[in-house]
Amino acid sequence: MAKANSGSNKKKRFTPSPGGIAYVALLCAADKMKTHFEAVFAPFDITGQQYNVLRILRGAEPEGLPTLTIAGRMIERTPGITRMIDRLETKGSVGRANCPDDRRCVYCRITEKGLNLLELLDEPVQEANRAVFRGLDEAEIGQLIALLEKARKGDESN
């Protein structure tokens, strides 16, 4: 008969690293903020990613940008940039034109309707920014930005 092994069957408790704890805290905060912003965009029948595309195109006025350049500037990477542009075009917020020098290149421009939509969203977005960071003062927000940039640049070396 085998002798019971007292204590050796205990599982070791996993202790996350400070980086693991920071990662979870960052994701939880980002999810809460994203949910807050999606509620701001919903009445305007737009998603956060669509807002991001329009914001990028407003900054590229009047020339516009090629589709792949927009994709590269997105906050959240999305494999469906063409479908997203299609939806925005259907809504009348974005127009597209082939580049005269290279027919494979499609330039996207924000329309007057898209500019009007962004103008309507400017104040609600600013209020949402104030709301989600209400617990931090200006110096702390500056520190947060610096730390996030430092973390992002450190990850780029991989």
Identify the bridge partners of residue 94 per DSSP, sorted by sequence position: 110
| Contact between 106 and 96 (Cβ < 8 Å) | yes
pLDDT of residue 6: 55
pTM above 0.85, yes or no: no
pLDDT of residue 59: 95
Q: 73-119, pLDDT tens digit by residue?
A: 998 887 889 999 999 999 999 999 887 777 778 899 999 999 999 99
pLDDT at 9 over 70: no
Q: What is the CATH number of domain 52-134?
A: 1.10.10.10
Site of tokens 């980002």: 30
How do the domains of the chain map onto residue ranges? Answer: 52-134
How high does pLDDT run on average in the chain? 89
**What are 33's two structure tokens?**
């903020």
